[in-house]
Chain A
Amino acid sequence: MAAGVRDLGVGIGLRVPHYRSILDDHPAVDVFEIISENFMVEGGKPRFHLGAVLERYPVVQHGVSLGIGGPGPLDRDYLARLRRLVRETGTPWVSDHFCWSSVPGVALHDLLPLPFTPAMVRRVAERARQVQDLLEVPFALENASSYAAFRASTMTEWEFVTEVCERAGVGLMLDVNNVYVTSYNHGLDPEEFLRGLPLHRVVQVHLAGHTNLGTHLLDTHSTHVIDPVWRLYEAAVERTGPVTTILEWDDDIPALEVVLAEAEKARTSRSAALARRAAVERGEPAAPRPRVTVAREAARPGPSGWRQGGPRELVTDG
């Protein structure tokens, strides 16, 4: 049990193109993660599909619109709807991102990077505590991928994350691919990044693929997880112990079997990491693990945009 929450095993993000297969075939999945906002509606197909999934599977909620570090106050209507959904799904925890997403009057619908300063620590920690109190379930924030860094920052991202989590008493949603993407984009060492995070506070892990544009990586969730990210994942699980892991695939979404096969790779990696952790605990010598670095590579084709949580369920008839 990491961070005082249950380990739910290995699951995938619930995405619209897979609804039919999931509801018809009931694949073996430990847990589905939903994007909260896609179901914060009154009724219709989104709520019907969620209800059908809830009848058979545990569900954890992940959000993309809280914008906890924004310059304006938190959106009370949004939080009230989120709270209602939390009651309905029985999610054991709720997560969102270390980011900001709006300025007063304008929603930017992005996970914008935060300046890592003491003032921002205070702002985010205070709001994170408020959100956790309001939702009455453990709340966790995810390290986001970033493409810009502020000169105003006075601490590293991992120091910032640690400060907020400790001060607010909230969990960390560890996105291993984001550690890699951010490290690549800003010339950081992903191993140092990982080591610096408060891993005892991890409630859940995310894995995903990204697009390599050569000059930078985009967190598109549009392809397979790359080998260095698998290795980073194993390094993380060795430190956290058993922790719920979700495979995200949000663009160029393939057949459900492909996503499930990727989740099975996560299960294998997780088992290997836990076996290694157990061996170390027994005092057995551990073979050195290959160090993860961010190697510069040539660009590979892929989506040029990212959309967190995949497509909304859309009107397709009428």
Chain B
Amino acid sequence: MAELAEDAELSRLQEWLGRALRQRRALDADPDAIAWAEGALEPSPTLSAIACAEIYRQQFWLRHTASLVDDFPGVGGVLGQARWQRLVEEYLDAHPPDSWTLRDLGHALPAFVATRDWLDDRALVADLARLEWALIEAFDAADSPPLDASAIERLDPEAWPQVRVLLDPSVRLLAACAPVHELRRGILAGEAPRALPESSPSWLVVARSPLRRLRAEPVSEAEHRVLLAQQGGAPLLGAFGEELEAGRVPPADAEATLAAWLGRWAEAGWIGAFERGG
């Protein structure tokens, strides 16, 4: 029993410090923290107990802010220093890191941005954050073997109505309110962020090429919808037919359009395999 009590006491000590390190304000401005530190920590030869704890608190904020800066350069570029800092602080308060890897730190940032009333351009910023998170996911997604160039030709024509395209594990599909991929490229190239039209819908495919290069490519709404249907497991021809019926693909160009899409998907590495559905 004594051992369990000792262990629980250690855990309480750690949990208190864990909470203190996530405080936004400096610990030496917090009387409760000072009292706790004086009771729990030894002063060093040169620093008070609270100053020792403060070293770790500062590192918590430096490390997590730096990680988000690395992963969301476009969002940071659009917001500027003050608004970015506010966003990061509010985000880390609302979504403390919960994974063993900093790679996962920004997973909830896109949805969080969309809830920030003080961001008047939040729809655009949220879409840019979605793009940047999609790039992170695509970057280290599972590898798939390269698609055999003759895979399409080998398909039995009678099987085509059931054929589904299995997308490469790196493929992420996004619908954005603006061409955020162009905005991001401009920011990374050092251009000052510029305002974008409020409404210029953009459909993007984020994926890793066979040479492991990441790209965000714009596609038409119809192509995007068919790709989404493939992710959902629908047969290719059925999904394409729906786009024809909806008038998003001109009937006269149907065959050529589908052939062009498949050629592009294969070349870009978006196709992992073809599968004959049941």
Residues of A participating in the B interface, judged by any CB pair closer than 8 Å: 37, 40-48, 65, 67, 70-71, 75, 78, 100-110, 112, 115, 117-120, 122-123, 147-152, 185-187, 214-216, 218, 304-307, 311-312, 314-315, 317-318
Contact = CB atoms under 8 A, between A and B. Distances in A.
Nearest to A314: B70
Given A186-B45, A216-B47, A119 B139 contact: no
B64 A109 contact: yes
B18 A106 contact: yes
Interface in B198-250: 206, 208, 212-216
A78 B51 CA distance: 33
B213 A317 contact: yes
A71 B14 CA distance: 7
B120 interface: no
Interface string B14-47: 1101110110000000000000000111101111
B14 A103 contact: yes
Contact of A103 (B18, B103, B169): B18
Contact of A42 (B135, B169, B212): B169
Top 6 closest pairs, chain A to chain B, by CB: A71-B11, A103-B18, A43-B143, A119-B6, A41-B140, A148-B52
Interface of B: 3, 6-7, 9-11, 13-15, 17-19, 21-22, 39-42, 44-47, 49, 51-53, 55-56, 58-60, 62-64, 66, 70-71, 96-103, 131-132, 135-136, 138-143, 169-170, 181, 184-185, 206, 208, 212-216
B56 A148 contact: yes
A106 B97 contact: yes
A232 to B, nearest CB: 19
A150 B42 contact: yes
Contacts of A150: 13, 40-42
B140 to A, nearest CB: 4
A44 B141 contact: yes
A216 B141 CA distance: 41
A108 B99 CA distance: 9
B214 A318 contact: yes
Contacts of A101: 100
B88 to A, nearest CB: 15
Contacts of B212: 44-45, 48
Given A65-B101, A147-B52, A150-B41, A115 B13 contact: yes
B10 A152 contact: yes
Given A119-B10, A151-B42, A109 B97 contact: yes
A40 B98 CA distance: 16
Given A45-B140, A317-B213, A109 B102 contact: yes
A115 B13 CA distance: 9
A151 B27 CA distance: 18
A65 B100 contact: yes
B141 A147 contact: no
Contacts of B21: 108, 110
Contact of A118 (B6, B63, B213): B6
Contact of A41 (B13, B96, B103): B103
Given A46-B140, A71-B10, 15 more contacts: A44-B143, A44-B208, A71-B15, A103-B19, A108-B18, A108-B21, A108-B22, A108-B60, A108-B97, A115-B10, A119-B3, A152-B9, A215-B44, A216-B55, A318-B214
A305 B45 CA distance: 21
A37 B105 CA distance: 14
Contact of B136 (A107, A115, A152, A315): A315
A149 B48 CA distance: 11
Nearest to B143: A43
Contacts of B13: 115, 150, 152
B146 to A, nearest CB: 13
Contact of B14 (A42, A70, A149, A305): A70
Nearest to B102: A109
Contacts of A102: 18, 100
A37 B14 CA distance: 23
